[in-house]
């Protein structure tokens, strides 16, 4: 007998939103505002308390502190906040005493506990990315699994967001604008998939075991937890989630958790997240660079950290450089903490400063595997694409093969006949901001054209990516006003408005998502005898092509690093990628692989 599957009925949720001053008279005001509506007082609700901060000079929009919560009894819960929480938490006392604080209560007849918990979690994920929200309180992450109406959650949340946006557009901008922000993509409030959830549980169990044991492990070094996975498999989201929960966990001590990253642009994002969530309240260095952490924690009398989380650990240096006087940043970190959680992808090692050979990587994995501390993520979480498309991109960079481009209704993978066509397409997408999924489209290129940071070429103009008569400046060169320059300090490269007229490299885009990427593959990537061949002599990336001393010998790993550079650039686009290759044979091979359906500008 054939098994029948129940079909969840389509439910039309039309949430109501009531806005009242947040003070001791809230209940009377809410009853009056809602006319005693039972949807507010008798059903589960979600609430948002916002406090408008004092106006800052030259500020175009006001700044807010926001608290998000959910409850089965809005009256009782608000009394707890006003009467109890104000006695033990300074943030709640400030909300109670502020003349500008308001409470928005959202209700609907179909709201249930699981649904309101998910709405609360999703609201925190979105509000974290709103520019004029300075602080976001309630740092709980509690996404639900399956429940009645869970399959319709995206539509339900969109309705809730629109209802709130009608009341307070300055707090609730267009969803599509938020979804393009770097903070949103690295938010700790993303719902984790089954593999990530299982990995998180294993990591917390291991952290608890190590921290409760006074003995150190692995020969006076920290316990290593190794999160492996290729680009786009959700490593950063898992790490961000772990970071938020560990800072707020009773497992760890005061100032006992640090998140480290060597990537300048990613550092900006994590610092913003930590600041908005108050994770840096007692520790300004809760997010910092590895060198700073090592230098501070090697000082006499400084206690080891409980847990260090290292994002993009493949960017850790493996020899002395600049202010770092050691020989291996990871080895130093293992001596300065009880647990070190690292995110690692050997296909994203980009410079000789970071180089590890396969033997060193295998040893690192074995150290973690001895105690079951290796978490491998395989599901593609970044790219909205079919597995065949993801395999095609992997084969292009890693296996150095150009196969026919597969059909994919979800992902727009196109080969352009000229670089100008790529730029025109990216520019058009950028001009359609707010129309999902168009915004956050940028140009990228392999590092095959000269660029010297903070210096100008002899003609005093800009360092450019040049193909024939077409050219565009390299990253971070387009001039901006002093006001915009100040604003850009809190924005990643791709989020700065002027960068639509620039081309980014791996040094500005690694670790970030774009909705659409336009990629110029430079002359260091060629096609000979049916295979991609990397030509280090055509690259301007000296950090990848210079020789390196490794285990007492001079080695050159340029081809391996240029392969990784191409791999990183090919995997930035969430919804699409447009390619042009400078090498004529590679361009011909790509156009042949594209056929008629995958040529940019053709139907």
Mean pLDDT by 10 residues, the chain (603 residues): 52 85 86 78 92 65 89 90 88 89 91 90 93 81 64 89 93 87 89 88 90 60 85 87 92 93 90 93 93 94 94 88 88 92 89 85 76 79 89 96 96 97 94 61 96 88 95 92 82 88 92 91 97 97 90 89 96 95 98 95 61
206: tokens are 């291991």
545: tokens are 């092509």
CA-CA distance, 57 to 159, in Å (whole number)? 35
CA-CA distance, 318 to 333, in Å (whole number)? 12
Question: What residue spans in the chain does CATH classification 3.40.50.300 cover?
Answer: 194-376, 387-594
390: tokens are 């993801």
pLDDT at 532: 97
**541: nearest Cα among 571, 519, 516, 564:** 564
SS3 584: helix
DSSP assignment of 58-90: T-SS--EEEEEEEES-HHHHHHIIIIIIHHH-H
Strand order in the sheet with 305-310: 287-288, 257-260, 305-310, 337-344, 223-228, 374-376
Spell out the residues 6+ positions from residue 568 whose beta carbon is closer than 8 angstroms to its own. 231, 348, 350, 506, 509, 510
Query: Are 105 and 37 spatial neighbours (Cβ–Cβ below 8 Å)?
Result: no
Longest CA–CA separation in the chain, Å: 80
**191: nearest Cα among 229, 144, 158:** 144
- CA 284, 94, 136, 481 torsion-angle sign: negative
CA-CA distance, 486 to 382, in Å (whole number)? 30
pTM value is 0.83
Give Cα separations from 562 to 397, 523, 540, 558 (angstroms): 9, 11, 11, 6
Spell out the residues 6+ positions from residue 574 whose beta carbon is closer than 8 angstroms to its own. 382, 383, 384, 437, 513, 514, 515, 516
- Chain-centroid distance, C-alpha 5: 37
- Chain-centroid distance, C-alpha 66: 22
CA-CA distance, 107 to 326, in Å (whole number)? 57
Give Cα separations from 403 to 180, 213, 391, 397, 511 (angstroms): 31, 53, 10, 12, 27
Pick the CATH number of 387-594 from 3.40.47.10, 3.40.640.10, 3.20.20.70, 3.40.50.300: 3.40.50.300
User: Tokens 């290593």 correspond to what residue?
Assistant: 224
Q: Residue 467 belongs to what H/E stretch?
A: strand 464-467
pLDDT at 267: 92
Give Cα separations from 325 to 11, 330, 337, 503 (angstroms): 62, 13, 19, 33
| Antiparallel, parallel or unpaired: β 573-581 and 412-415 | parallel
pLDDT at 56: 54
**190: nearest Cα among 262, 238, 230:** 238
Topology of domain 194-376 in CATH is Rossmann fold (3.40.50)
CA-CA distance, 8 to 306, in Å (whole number)? 46
CA-CA distance, 101 to 90, in Å (whole number)? 15
SS3 135: strand
């Amino acid at each position: 007998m054939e098994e029948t599957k129940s079909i969840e009925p389509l439910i039309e949720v039309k949430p109501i939103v009531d806005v009242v001053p947040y003070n001791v008279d809230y209940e009377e005001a809410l009853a009056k505002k809602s006319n005693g509506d039972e949807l507010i007082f008798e059903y589960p609700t979600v609430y948002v308390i916002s406090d408008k901060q004092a106006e800052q000079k030259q500020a175009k929009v006001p700044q807010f502190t926001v608290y998000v919560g959910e409850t089965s009894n809005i009256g009782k819960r608000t009394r707890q906040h006003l009467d109890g929480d104000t006695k033990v938490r300074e943030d709640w006392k400030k909300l109670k005493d502020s003349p500008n604080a308001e409470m928005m209560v959202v209700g609907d007849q179909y709201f249930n506990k699981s649904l309101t918990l998910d709405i609360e979690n999703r609201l925190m994920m979105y509000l974290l990315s709103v520019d004029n929200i300075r602080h976001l309180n309630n740092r709980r992450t509690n996404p639900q699994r399956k429940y009645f109406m869970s399959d319709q959650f995206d539509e339900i949340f969109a309705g809730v967001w629109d209802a709130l946006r009608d009341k307070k557009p300055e707090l609730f901008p267009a969803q599509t604008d938020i979804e393009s922000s770097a903070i949103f993509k690295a938010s700790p409030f993303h719902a984790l998939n089954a593999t990530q959830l299982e990995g998180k549980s294993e990591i917390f169990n291991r952290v608890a075991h190590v921290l409760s044991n006074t003995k150190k492990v692995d020969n006076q070094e920290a316990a290593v937890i190794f999160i492996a996975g290729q680009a786009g498999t959700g490593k950063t989201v898992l790490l961000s989630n772990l970071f938020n929960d560990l800072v707020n966990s009773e497992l760890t001590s005061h100032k006992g958790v640090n998140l480290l990253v060597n990537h300048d642009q990613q550092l900006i994002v994590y610092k913003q997240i930590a600041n908005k969530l108050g994770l840096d309240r007692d520790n300004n260095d809760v997010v910092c660079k590895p060198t700073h952490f090592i230098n501070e924690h090697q000082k006499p009398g400084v206690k080891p950290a409980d847990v260090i989380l290292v994002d993009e650990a493949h960017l850790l240096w493996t020899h002395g450089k600049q202010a770092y006087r050691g020989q291996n940043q990871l080895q130093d970190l293992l001596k300065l903490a009880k647990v070190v959680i690292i995110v690692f992808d050997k296909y994203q090692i980009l410079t000789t400063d970071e180089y590890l050979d396969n033997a060193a990587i295998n040893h690192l994995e074995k150290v973690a595997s001895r105690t079951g501390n290796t978490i491998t993520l395989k599901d593609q979480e970044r790219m909205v694409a079919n597995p065949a498309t993801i395999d095609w991109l992997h084969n292009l960079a890693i296996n150095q093969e150009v196969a026919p481009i597969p059909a994919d209704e979800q992902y727009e993978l196109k080969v352009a006949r000229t670089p100008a066509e790529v730029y025109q397409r990216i520019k058009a997408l950028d001009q359609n901001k707010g129309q999902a999924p168009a915004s956050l489209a940028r140009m990228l290129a392999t590092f095959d054209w000269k660029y010297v940071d903070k210096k100008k070429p002899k003609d005093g103009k800009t360092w450019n990516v040049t193909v024939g008569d077409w050219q565009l400046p390299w990253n971070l060169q387009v001039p901006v006003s002093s006001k915009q320059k100040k604003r850009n300090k809190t924005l990643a490269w791709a989020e700065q408005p002027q960068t639509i007229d620039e081309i980014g490299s791996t040094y500005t885009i690694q670790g970030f998502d774009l909705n659409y990427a336009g990629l110029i593959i430079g002359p260091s990537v060629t096609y000979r005898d049916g295979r991609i061949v990397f030509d280090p002599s055509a690259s301007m990336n000296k950090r990848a092509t210079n020789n390196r001393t490794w285990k007492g010998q001079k080695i050159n790993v340029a081809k391996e690093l240029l392969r990784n550079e191409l791999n990183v650039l090919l995997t930035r686009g969430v919804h699409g990628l447009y390619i042009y290759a400078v090498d004529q044979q590679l361009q011909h091979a790509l156009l042949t692989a594209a056929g008629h359906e995958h040529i940019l500008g053709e139907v």
